[in-house]
Structure formats: C-alpha cells, structure tokens
Structure 1
Amino acid sequence: MACSAALLLATLTACGSEAEAADTRKPTVPHGVTAQASSATSAHVMWEAATDDTAVTGYEIYRAGKKVKSVPASRVMIDIDGLTASTAYTFTVRARDAAGNLSAPSAAASVTTPAPTPADHEPPTRPVKLRGKADGSRAATLSWGGSTDDIGVTAYDIYQEDSRIHSVPGTRTTARITGLRPGTIYTFTVRARDAANTSSPDSNALDLTTASAPGAPASTAPSDLRITTAEEGREYAVDLDWKQPETGGEIPAYQLYLNGRLTTTIVWGGTPPAGRASYRLTVAEPRGTRYSVKLRAKLPDGKWGDFSAQRTVVLGE
C-alpha cells in the first residue's frame, strides 16, 4: 500500500512538473519599434507592448544583434548611451515571458547619431501652450508650441508628474499617450531637449481625466488645486487652495504629499469647511527649491480617496 502511495505521489509530482514546464509558447513580436537620436552619443528606443499566453515579464533590446539592455514589462522605452557621433545604428526588441521564452526579433529600427555640436551650454526654450484631450479611457493626445535652441532641438520628452513616459523627435510637436487607466487624473508636462542632452524648463502643466470604466464610482479627487508662495523672513509660506470632492459627507482630513512623500495630515480644528478648502504650509528650504504637490481626502467611510492632479511650485517664483 505504501509503495502504491509513493508511486501515485511520484506520478502526480511528475505530472505537476510537466504542467509547470509546459509553457513553450513565445510572446508575440513587439511592433512599432522606433529609434531617435537623443544626442550625438545617445538614442531613444520605443516600442508597442507584446502579449503572451501567460504574461510578458520583460523586453530585451539589441544593437546590431547584440543585447545591450533589458527592461521590465512595465517599460516600453529605453535610452541607449555610449554611442558614437555621426554613426548609423540599428535596434531590435524581443519580448520575454516568465518561462524564459523569447519572441522573434522585432523589425529593425535605424537611426544615425548627429555630429558633435559646438559647445552648447544653452538649454532650449520652454515648450508653450501645452493642450490636449483624453481619448476615451486609456489614451490621450497632446500638442504644444515648439521650442528653439541655439544649435537645435533633437527631442521632446513628455512627463506624467515627474516621470518621463514618452519622447518624440524634435521635428514633432504632438504625441499620443497610451496605456492609461480609466477614470484617472493625469498631469502632463513637456520638455525640449538638445543634442547636448540639455533640457528646457517644463511647459505649462495640463490636467486630463480619462473616461471612467462602465459602472465605476465617481472620482474622489480634489480638483482645481492652486498654489502660491510668499517669503516670510528666512522661511516661505506655501498657500494651497482647492475644490473639495463630492463624497456624500464631511471630509475630516487630507493627506498632503511633497515630492511623492507624505508630509503632513491636515486635520480641521473645528467643523470641516464646505466648498473650497485652504491650507498654509511653512518651509525653511532656500529660494529656488522645487516641490511637486498633491493631496487626497479622507472619505466619510474612513478610506483615503483619489489623489488630486499634481502641481509644481518653485519657492520665490
């Protein structure tokens, strides 16, 4: 009987091992691969996400058939540095799954790095009049006024809050952003970049809200966040003012985040305000310090709501 049990266990274990090792299907080939010169010594490679019967876990980037970079599945772009000026390069991308299966190489994307520039110490001018619209629940289209540079603009980088999420060549002033989430507030800015990899100041910030998924609850994000600063001796007062979300009850508190970190919890001393709310934060950082600011409400059921759109403020400006 013991022998039979052992044989059964061995058989089941073998079957389980075979099932776990059964993933031999390769991911689909990444498509839409593009490469653009970011500077005389770097290139920016982008592609569309691949799919897999289980899950894509990462991508491998090849230069002339030799692997030069690997990124997780959440990324569909990469900067390749250490290139040579005035040189032609080709890049391909392969998707990888958890079992280690690699897709076939993508179509090759070619790019030629520009010649070295004279000493270029001036950044491009700020992109102007950033505007756009949400395209349904998972995409957005942006456009902006072009920048100028003493040598030339090579690229525009699109940022969502403080993370670069997309780049387009310096000859383009439009971009389509995909992979967004339904019912979410996004804050976009654009920076111009020149051949020396020097970036411009940020464009104006643009808030866009994607369409909600069918049946999803209404957003609980504070809106129309406004920020001003005032110098007070050796400190700065940062004044915030915002429209409170509709939650079906009083909002007893807010969490305030600076540069992505929880800084303080705002708790009202008496009856919570109705309509708009305001708060003053005092900081002792020097003039020119840059803060990214966002907040969220504590809902009547005790949970924390959605974050507001992020705002950037520079002390003394």
Structure 2
Amino acid sequence: MMLRVAGLKDLDNNAKNEIEVTDEDGQLSIPNAKRMLKWLAEGVRRALELGSGSDTPKDVNALLNLLLISMGQVYIDTALDAAADLATSQETIKSEPDISYLPSLQPAITITNIMSRFINTVLIRLAEPNTTVRRGMELQTKAAVERIESKTNTIVRSTITVVLNWITRLLANQKKADFRPKDSELEGTRGVPGYLETLQTATCASICTFLTKVAKAAAQAIDGQNLEVFSCELATSVRDLLFEHFKKFQVNATGGLMVAKDMSRYVSTLKDWPLSKEAEGGVELLSEIGNFFIIGPEALRERSRNFQTGGVGRKLQKADFRAFIFRRDDSGSVGIQSVLAGL
C-alpha cells in the first residue's frame, strides 16, 4: 500500500502480487515521502471521524507504529544500510573509491526531519489525553530518530576512513625521484607557457582531483555545522598525512619549487571547503613547509626563531623544522649547517 502511494505502480496486470521496480525506486525521494505522509494524514482524519475521543490516543499510536516501520525502517533505514555497506566495502579498495552513495544522506536527513515534525505536531498532540500512550510514543520516536542519526554518522565516519585510506595509497605511490628532477628532464619546457605547471607532481594532481570530488559529494549530503565539522576533520587529517609525507623525500633546488607548487595546490584545494578559522590556519601550515625547501639560509634562520620547543596541534616545532631542512640536498652546506646548529 505504502509503495503504491509513493508512486510505484504494478506494471503487470496479470500478476497483482508482484511489483516491478527499478534501481531508481530504491533511491530515497522527498516527494514520495511527502506523499506517504499525506496518506497517513488522511488515515488520521478518518480515525478521528470514525472513532470515539477515548480511542484517539490508541489509534494514533497504531498509526505511529505504521509510520516508523514503513517510513523509518523499510524506507530510510534500508537506504542507509545500503549506503553504509557500500562505504564499508571501499575502506580497503585498491581503485578510486566510488562515493556516489554520499549524497543519499541528504534526502534521508530531510525525510527524517519531516517525519519527526509530523509526529510531534500531529500524532503526539492527539495522544495528549493519555499520558502513558503519549510518553510511549515520544520514546518510540526518539529511538527511531536516534537510530537513523547513528547510521548517518556511521556513514560519514566510514567515508572519512575511505577518503584517508585512498589518499594514503596515492601518497605511497609518490616516486622517490619526484622532488629530485634532473635539469635535462625539464629542459624542453623552460621558457614556454605552462612551465610552472610541469613542476606539479602527478600524485598531487590525483589527490586534489579526488578531494574536489569528495567536497562536492559532501556538500550534496550535509550542510551547515555538520558540513563544517566533516570538512575540518578531513582537512586536518589530510594536512597531517602531508606533514609526515614530505619528511620522507630528498629535495634538490628544482624539487623545492615542485614541493612549493604541490603545497600551494593542496592548500588551495582544502581552503575551498567550509573550514573553521582554526582548521584553515592548520592548512596554511603546509604553505610554510613548502617555503622551507626554496628559501635561503638567512630566511631559514629568521623562521627558526619563531618555533616552539613544545606544543600540540597545528604548531610547527623545531624538531619538525629540522626534519624538513635535513631533506634539502644542500643541507650539508655551511649556510644551512649554521642554521641547524643554532636551533
């Protein structure tokens, strides 16, 4: 009955017990959900017309059970379970993850809000004459909404894991020689338009393209404070991965330009997200790290005076500064050694 009200038609007149459905029918639809609630509202009206006043709390409680099962469990929960299974299955995938499931959170959240509002403004109010029934309905509704919220949060958490695992895999494929290019390798591109773009590594391009896809999908799934929290956590985690990643590579003079170019691209990509000021400041740290590989000894000495020996979070410490400088090919020069000796 609920499927027919939602717009799913039986296409085989000779087999009335079978309903032919497509993949699109499995996607949550806000208009279909509103249609279901319209049908339920009609049921409430009929119950009020035909029943006695003393039976109203019991009748609306029965309608609440129907709603929570048909819309809450069969409709919303099923869609969220499918999205959760898809997200979990991609946590260790060896090809680029498919995050097309993420936008399905938006209709799930919207339908849940509409359903909850209908319950609180219509059904529970009609049950007010019977305190016991009303309290039971409130508890049922709260449990159903919390279950849906929990599943939504699980999908978001799993998505963060999927994204970070894939970025970790891409970073692991970065070539050791990426930041030590020979001049002969770039000789043919000097002096022509787009020369600086050739300094960007393929790993950086792949990661930024993927992160842009994630940001677009996330914006279609959640909004407001939820989107900011998601973006901040993911951006901070990506920053931490990059922070440790660039401690592993030897960098020559031209490679320093490539590091700076990569860092600039990472920063611009992450700052396109809705970040808090604190998270944005943490992302900006990557630009500073990129500069370590291209500035001279005097500029490095000036930078070294601003670091702290302790602290947590996004603060760059002297131990980190030393680790990055040691990766420069000219770290053994007199100028660089004098900077390191002064730490």
TM-score w.r.t. the length of structure 2 is 0.27
Structure of greater relative contact order (alpha carbons < 8 Å, 6+ residues apart): 2
Give the helix-richer structure, 1 or 2: 2
Give the structure with the higher percent strand: 1
